[in-house]
Chains A and B, each alone.
Chain A
Amino acid sequence: ETGVTQTPRHLVMGMTNKKSLKCEQHLGHNAMYWYKQSAKKPLELMFVYNFKEQTENNSVPSRFSPECPNSSHLFLHLHTLQPEDSALYLCASSHGQGGPPDTQYFGPGTRLTVL
């Protein structure tokens, strides 16, 4: 499989559940990202990882917990979410080396619904 893949594609969870989103990139990149895309809002950057180290946390609530075990995999652990957290969660990757621009390649997203 090529590019950036995300699982699951759809997720429905209650506010007390714990779930995880998974992202895998097959592009040999060193940087990975989580974004949130809500209706009628711009994409919001949540987290950035470079060479497995978190380099950006865009004031994301602690109920979202990222994990990057290696440069190819990225997880987003979810617990005690709120209905307003319902959105499309997109993963992206980029080379993470050299100068800008550092073109980002996106996965198809996980559509999350919090009941």
Chain B
Amino acid sequence: QKEVEQDPGPLSVPEGAIVSLNCTYSNSAFQYFMWYRQYSRKGPELLMYTYSSGNKEDGRFTAQVDKSSKYISLFIRDSQPSDSATYLCAMSGDQGAQKLVFGQGTRLTINP
């Protein structure tokens, strides 16, 4: 079993839709949860991070962590064509903050 599972997609939605991206994990030691966005031919860039359980909102983006279910989500409201990218979840524990474990990434396309 992979430590982090993420549906690779591809996921295609119309502009303006609400997008839900998810990851599940098996390691209960994970405490920090991150979402990276990777455009084609670019390196990943950090979009959001959350600590432990709860929600965090930043503009059109909301990250949710449910540690009891070992499940994290990223919601994108009012999606734009510029949101088209691959979204990677990543996580680490307190003792291994530099050892990020990544999901496979979900390729998202927002259609105008």
User: Which residues from chain A sit less than 8 Å from chain B, CB to CB?
Assistant: 4, 31, 33, 40-43, 45, 48, 50, 55-56, 90, 92, 94, 96, 99-109
Size of the chain B interface, CB-CB below 8 angstroms: 29
Residues in A with CB closer than 8 Å to B2 are 42
Q: Are A103 and B49 in contact (CB under 8 A)?
A: yes
Q: Quote the shortest CB–CB distance from B13 to chain A (angstroms).
A: 22
CB-based contact A42/B102 at 8 Å: yes
Within the complex, the shortest CB–CB distance from B81 to chain A, in Å, comes to 22
Give B contacts to A, CB under 8 Å: 2, 4, 6, 8, 31-32, 34, 36, 41-46, 49, 51, 88, 90, 92, 94, 97-105
Knowing that A90-B44, A104-B98 touch, tell me 15 more A-B residue pairs with CB under 8 angstroms.
A40-B8, A40-B104, A42-B2, A43-B88, A43-B100, A90-B43, A100-B32, A101-B51, A103-B46, A104-B46, A105-B45, A105-B46, A106-B44, A108-B43, A109-B42
